[in-house]
Amino acid sequence: NAGVTQTPKFQVLKTGQSMTLQCAQDMNHEYMSWYRQDPGMGLRLIHYSVGAGITDQGEVPNGYNVSRSTTEDFPLRLLSAAPSQTSVYFCASRGGQGNQPQHFGDGTRLSIL
């Protein structure tokens, strides 16, 4: 049981490049979320999805796009990378019933030069 899988684990980009961070879960979870974690700031919600075909913005959505074409996958796209997007990105998922815990991936560490 893989849980929440994020790829890649590390990536270095140049300013202006585009990239997709992958997130996949094998638990048939309806809810999926993307967070970024910066030193001294905790995690901040970027985008989330309550099911296939449904996405919405979180606290810090600018510069990021998401899509949810399948239940399993929730990719995060950086359209034109900026140094301010240097961060650790976490994907999380949760089943539909309210008492189920949220599962986090191990993160993607992204550096923008």
Partner 1 sequence: AQSVTQPDIHITVSEGASLELRCNYSYGATPYLFWYVQSPGQGLQLLLKYFSGDTLVQGIKGFEAEFKRSQSSFNLRKPSVHWSDAAEYFCAVGEDDYKLSFGAGTTVTVRA
85: tokens are 């997007």
Segment interacting with partner 1, rule: CB under 8 A, options 16-24, 39-47, 69-77, 79-87:
39-47
CB atoms within 10 A of CB 95: 16
Minimum distance, C-beta of residue 3 to partner 1, in the bound complex (Å): 9
What is the full DSSP assignment across 47-64? EEEEETTEEEE-SS-TTE
Dist CA 50 CA 42 (whole Å): 23
CB atoms within 10 A of CB 83: 10
26 lies in the site for partner 1, by CB under 8 A: no
Q: Which of 19, 27, 45, 52 binds partner 1 (CB under 8 A)?
A: 45
Q: Which of 13, 21, 24, 105 binds partner 1 (CB under 8 A)?
A: 105
75 lies in the site for partner 1, by CB under 8 A: no
Binding site for partner 1 (CB under 8 A): 4, 31-33, 35, 40-45, 48, 50, 58-59, 90, 92, 94, 98, 101-102, 104-107
